[in-house]
Structure 1
Amino acid sequence: MTLLAPETVNLVDPELYATGDPYPVFRWMRDNDPVRWHGATEYPGFWSVTRYDDIRTVYGDARVFSSAQGILLRPQGHGQDPGGGRTLALTDPPHHKALRTLVADWFTTRSVRALEDAMREAVRAVLARAVALGECDFVTDIAARLPLYVICRLMGVPEHEQEMLFSLTSQAFGAGEPETRSIAHQQIMAYFVELMYRRMDEPADDLVSALVNGEVDGEMLTEEDILLNCDNLLVGGTENVRLAVAGGMQTFLDRPADWERLRSDRSLMPTAVEEVLRWTSTATHIMRTVTEPVMLRERQLEPGDRVVMWTPSANRDERYFENPDAFDIARRPNRHLALGAGEHFCLGAMMTRTEMRILFTELLDSVHSIEQTGPAVPLRSIVVNGLESLPVRITAK
């Protein structure tokens, strides 16, 4: 099929992802203009990078393609990202490595395995609650709860305070009114201020204590840096799993034969998880800022230029994936970029995969049927790709 040049397509229009279809646009760009200038709108102008190999090149050179000026497009009137150069996601080497080392022990294979039994118990409780409700929203009532439980546990949030934090994060990162989201986010930050001071007085074996008492480059983090990193960990520790699991469940509901195939052959679970990650590609875009003149493909990029990598495009690149527009739970190889690459490869990748495996396994083991009871509502976002809600009825075995 021949596609027309998408001259009139606005890649920073949320409706393109909520109600449109960006994949033909990305396909045309990969074939005809893989490093393409996108003029300024309410967002600054940027270079769009859509091919898998070019995106890996950008990810792989943190010196030339910096994270310190922000990793997401921001409206021009919003100024610089306040976390720039200060949080795990928004720093470059060597500062990034030093900051990552502070928290890395909580995301090792050994640490993740130690949490597996607790994760299963949490999922069983979540599913029992969903069954009791009869009809529920798969996104908020199921997919969002396990990752929040895990990151709260790692950060040292007491169990009796987790439901309150769940309610606030649902408001802050949901699709409600901007004022409601802003107030909820301020309340989350106020909570972490209190938790930070608690850990200053009484250190514990958790992530917040590591940030409070650790040193980076021989200096302790400022209070503002601690809070920014708490916020970064909370969002990073929940968004990927929530959106990937919900999007994966919708895909299985649309393709029941794949769900039954996975039920009958659990050896497919690892490849199914990877395919859900590729298929959902929950980070719609990731940005870098050029630090010195560089050629990318045939384009000359200058210092200060923004480079936007479109993850869903990379993960459908025909040059790298056979039949990329097909959902294949047995796909091998599957070296997708849903969890990033290079210096900023997702710190919680092992945790993400484990949470998804346990959640899907428990759904297969303990649920008789999952029936979609209404239309799925997609998020209106250029930042994350996924569902705002997915109404379902769950019946226990």
Structure 2
Amino acid sequence: MPTESAEQPPLINLVDPELYAKGDPFVQWRWLRAHQPVYWHEPTEYPGFWVLTRYDDIRTAYRDAAGFSSAQGILLRPESHGADPGGGRTLALTDAPRHRQLRGLIDGWFSVRSARAMEQDVQDVVRRVVDDALERGACDFVTDVAARVPLYVICKMMGIPDADWEKLFLLTSDAFGAGDPLTRRLAHLDILGYFEALQADKAKNPADDLVSVLATASVDGERLSPDDVILNCDNLLVGGSENTRIATAGGMLAFLRHPDQWEILSERPDLLPSGVEEVLRWTSTATHIMRTATREVEIDGRRIAAGDRVTFWLPSANRDESVFQDPDRFDVRRQPNRHLALGFGEHFCVGSVLARVEMRLLYGELLSRSIRVTLDDEPTLLSSIVVNGPERLPVRMTAS
């Protein structure tokens, strides 16, 4: 997203999807950080909510999981949509102690040790995807490269048969990328239907995979219900692929716009880990995260009532001038880089280590093989208040 300065107070409207596709939200966030870091956003089709834009305020609220609940939903929803059906049931939409219990079931699959053990599998997926893209020559980096790597990896971890990976790829592309709401809804229903059948099979014939873990798990002495298993599988598929897809593609767009940074990595591949951290900070693909206050709390002199919705605007936090030196500069050598792109506290992204491995290996593959990536047309940005980044990134990929 572009960044321009704002001398006069801008019109604050953070729930306009076109702001993120064609506008400049950083103008609004920069003004809010400077003048109203805790801002009440009046109701629209969405209910009214508090806006936090400063790094320290968001980090403090993340840490207070008891005071800021996830169980009522973690994203703004139009009033007409009602409550989130996953509220209180999925890993992302639960509070302690159930959140810790659900997380404990799968944490080991996403540990540093597990991610290291999976590196060869991830590398194999990366090579397969890159080779296919090279054969095409002209491709959409979002769907043909960035989307396939994390999706194929999480499918493998979930025990989804290889023959179904392409089916899940097409369904997720429609569920989260199609412009038509009906197409998105029908695709999402098909995904839930797929997991309904898969969890039933894994409950009877468990194997060494994530769906089997959930399908046979007990919490407080009770088996997870089939509906809870299905919702958590859906959550894992989305969480394990969507944000990594957009961050990876957004990172490539950043490198295309800042070729000097790609050149630095080509000369210093040891900087890839810090390059990935800068991509995560720069893209901050989760535009907002929501919590519900469980008690009255005061932040920067503003009184938030119990039951109020409170939103954390992560791209703003990760450009906070009080934390990041020259925050509007893309710099793969940035140190330190304590961004909040993957959350913080109890709800820190369970797949954060794996996401970093996937991004590092993909960029590393392109660099080590001297694959040239060039823009083939203008990119299109997502029209969404939930995630931000490229929707389409037409490129040409050629091997040197």
**Quick check: TM above 0.5?**
yes
Once the two structures are superposed, the pairs formed by residues 145-294 of structure 1 within 5 Å of their partners are: 145-294=148-297
Which of 297, 302, 307 is the aligned partner of 1:299?
A: 302
Paired AA for residue 3 in structure 1: E
Matched to 2:211, the amino acid is V
Q: State the secondary structure of the residue aligned to 2:354.
A: helix
Alpha-carbon RMSD across the aligned residues, in angstroms, is 0.9
The one of 67, 87, 110 equivalent to 2:113 is 110
Question: Secondary structure in 2 aligned to 1:309?
Answer: strand
- Per-residue deviation, residues 150-208 of structure 1 (Å, max 9, x unmatched): 11011100111111111111111113311111111111111111101110110011111
Q: Which residue of structure 2 aligns with residue 93 of structure 1?
A: 96
TM-score, normalization: structure 1?
0.98
Native 8 Å contact 2:6 2:27 kept in 1: no
SS in structure 1 of the partner of residue 72 of structure 2? coil
Residue identity in the other structure for 1:12: V
Distance 1:11 1:200, change over 3 A: same
1:44 corresponding residue in structure 2: 47
For residues 143 and 378 of structure 2, the distance between their equivalents in structure 1, rounded to whole angstroms, comes to 15
For residues 193 and 164 of structure 1, the distance between their equivalents in structure 2, rounded to whole angstroms, comes to: 15
Q: 1:65 aligns with which of 62, 65, 68?
A: 68
Match of 1:53 in 2: 56
1:202 and 1:328 mapped to 2: Cα distance? 49
- The amino acid of 1:87's aligned partner reads T
Asked if residue 330 in structure 1 is aligned to residue 333 in structure 2, the reply is yes
Q: Identify the range of structure 1 (212-221 vs 377-386) with the bigger mean alpha-carbon deviation.
A: 212-221
> Which secondary structure state, in structure 2, belongs to the residue aligned with residue 85 of structure 1?
coil
Q: CA–CA distance in 2 between the matches of 1:110 and 1:342?
A: 21
**8 Å Cα contact 2:125-2:153 kept in structure 1:** no
| Deviation >2 Å, runs of 4+ | none
1:285-336 CA distances to partner (integer Å, 9 max, x unpaired)? 0000011111112011111100011000000000100000100100000000
Measure the CA separation in 1 of the matches of 2:114 and 2:195.
23
Residue 13 of structure 2 corresponds to 10
Partner AA of 2:66 in structure 1: R
Which of the residues 115, 124, 143 maps onto 2:127? 124
- In the alignment, is the contact (CA less than 8 A) between 2:125 and 2:149 conserved in 1? yes
State whether residues 36 and 49 of structure 1, in contact with CA within 8 Å, keep that contact through their aligned partners in structure 2.
Answer: yes
Q: Deviations over 1:323-353 (max 9, x none)?
A: 0010010000000000000100011110011
The DSSP-based 3-state class of the residue aligned with 2:240 is helix
Instruction: Give the CA deviation at 1:3.
Output: 2.4
CA distance in structure 2 between the partners assigned to 1:367 and 1:186 by the alignment: 41
Matched, 1:314 2:317: yes
Report how far residue 255 of structure 1 moved: 1.1
Distance 1:367 1:181 in 2: 37
- In structure 2, the CA distance between the partners of 1:368 and 1:63, relative to structure 1 (3 Å rule), is closer
Query: Deviation string for 1:364-395 (max 9, x for gaps)?
Result: 12243111100000000000011111001101
Equivalent AA in structure 2 for residue 108 of structure 1: S
Contact 1:156 1:206 in 2 (8 A): yes
Q: CA deviation at 1:2?
A: 5.9
* Distance in 1 separating the partners of 2:67 and 2:191: 35
* Rounded Cα–Cα distance in structure 1 between residues aligned with 2:371 and 2:339: 32
Deviations along 1:7-46, one digit per CA (max 9) or x if unpaired, are x331100111110001121111001100000000000000
Aligned to 2:32: 29
Residues 1:386 and 2:389 are matched in the alignment: yes
Asked if structure 2 preserves the Cα contact closer than 8 Å seen for 1:175 and 1:388, the reply is no
Aligned letter for 1:212? A
Unaligned runs of 5+ in 1: none
Shift of 1:271: 0.7
| Contact preservation (8 Å) 1:369, 1:395 | yes
Amino acid across the alignment from 1:238: S
Structure 1 residue 274: deviation in Å? 0.2
TM-score (norm. length: structure 2): 0.98
Residues 98-146 of structure 1 deviation map (CA, whole Å, 9 limit, x = unaligned): 0100111110111111111111111111111111112100000000011
Q: How many residues align?
A: 396
8 A contact 1:95–1:217 mirrored in 2: no
Q: What amino acid sits opposite 1:289 in the alignment?
A: T
1:3, 1:24 within 8 Å by CA — same for their partners in 2? no
Kindly provide the amino acid, as one letter, of the partner of residue 145 in structure 1.
R
Higher deviation after alignment, 216-225 or 300-309 = 216-225
Deviation at 1:265, TM superposition (A): 0.5
* Structure 2 portions without partners, runs of 5+: none
